[in-house]
Amino acid sequence: MTKQTLNTGEWIDRSLLRAFEKEGTDAHRLCTIDEGWAERFGPDILISYQTVAARDHLVLELYLWGKSVDFSVNRVFSRRLPRKSEEREPPKLMFGDEGQNLKTTTTELFLKFGIDFNAGYSVGLFVDQRENRRHLREIKSKRLLNCFAYTCSFSVAAAAAGAQTVNIDLSKKYLARGRENFALNALPTAEHRFIADDVRPVLRRLARRGEKFDTIIIDPPTFSRSPGGKIFRIDRDFEQVLLAALEVAARDARILLSTNSTTMHEHCLQVMARYCLKTARRTGTMHRQPAPADFARGTAASTIWLSLR
């Protein structure tokens, strides 16, 4: 992969675009500005914006960029970035054929993932986690626990490298899409479990049964509410989830801690990890994967890998 450092407002150049295509990736960020960004999912573009002016600016620059790198834009969707989670709305089609299916398939490192522009605010794949999924394939886990699994992209990456997976998410709908992602990659689901439940009681049940995992993914939403009304808030509950995860972590396990919360940055994750290790009487080291080449500094999710010893 060609390495380059993008600045805010800079569009990826032809060499990076071709590097993505060479490695089998057509899901990535195109540009980030102060009030939004543009991302590619296969032949389609999704523009996320805070203001109409930012949206229109990105649309104009998108077509200018497309001409400069010989990229043909199929459809353009847009979604307003909400101030509150309850204000989230599905993307709206701005340009392109309304008669087309609002679903498509995108690829990352030659793995396929389903994208649905009509299923909700998030379309099915968080492209800023690409380097973490790459790392997951490289370490070749045997048993992966995917907390807050969403559409199971981490699990697909691990399963492609031979891992068995356990996937936990509140939403049966998202887990069904996760199964579809397995099928898109001809990965049988017989040795994989999909549990529609709150992560916290599931972790307690797994611990009581003595289950252990050599890799654990913890990438929670900033806020969620279970069907029973129980609330998860990342600033309040992330620490307890990590402590519970340490109970099911094998001796040399690796744990990914990740968040898009604007109030919890990488340093916060490190402080939390050190506290939880001390509380659980475990030891470990921390590292982060290289920042995604298509993201300006500080615009991707905050992540660290915790390697237990």
199 phi-psi bin (left φ>0, alpha ψ -120 to 50, beta other): alpha
From residue 235, give the alpha-carbon distance in Å to each of 4, 97, 228, 240, 242. Answer: 33, 42, 21, 10, 12
**CA–CA distance, 67 with 188 (Å, rounded to integer):** 41
**Domains of the chain, earliest start first:** 14-113 (3.30.750), 127-308 (3.40.50.150)
Residues whose CB is less than 8 angstroms from the CB of residue 146 and which lie 6 or more positions away in sequence, other chains included? 152, 154, 155, 158, 165, 166, 167, 168, 217
Q: Which pair of tokens denotes residue 172?
A: 């049966």
**CA–CA distance, 53 with 196 (Å, rounded to integer):** 40
Residues 256-289 have pLDDT tens digits of 999 999 889 999 999 999 999 999 999 999 999 9
pTM of the full predicted structure?
A: 0.96
Taking the chain, what is the end-to-end CA distance rounded to the nearest angstrom?
Answer: 31
Partner residues linked to 215 by β-bridges: 144, 254
With 70 as the cut, is the pLDDT of residue 2 above it?
Answer: no
Q: DSSP letter at 222? A: S
Residues 196-237 have pLDDT tens digits of 999 999 999 999 999 999 999 999 999 898 888 889 999 999
